[in-house]
Amino acid sequence: MFALELTYTAPLERVEEHQDAHVAWLDGLYEEGVLIASGRKNPRDGGVLIAVGVDRERAERIAASDPYTTAGVCEYRITEFIATKTAPALEPYRERPST
């Protein structure tokens, strides 16, 4: 599982110019079953996406394909984590650490 944290590198007005494309891109990832959550950070200086069922290479490709990234208005920090404990509704996403 990956947490993809994006941070805006441009003024919010420039970011918002690409918001519709970014939301459509997110919708596609939800349809693929790749994302289980996403949203804005507070304060609004970026956002966070939670991706499942992908490897690091795919997570990096996801970040690179974000319309915000291609427009040059954000940067990503990608963190892999092993979700060994979850809320009951997220049980299908629980992982076992490799030994």
pLDDT the model gives residue 27: 98
Distance CA 69, CA 77 (A): 12
**Residue 47 falls inside a structural domain:** yes
**Residue 98 falls inside a structural domain:** no
**Residue 23 falls inside a structural domain:** yes
Distance CA 48, CA 13 (A): 19
In the chain, which residues have pLDDT < 70? 99
- Listed residue (72, 85, 61) closest to 8, CA to CA: 72
The parent domain of residue 79 ranges over: 2-93
**Residue 11 falls inside a structural domain:** yes
Q: What token pair was written down for 57?
A: 């290479």
**Residue 89 falls inside a structural domain:** yes
pLDDT the model gives residue 99: 62
pLDDT the model gives residue 97: 75
pTM of the model as a whole: 0.91
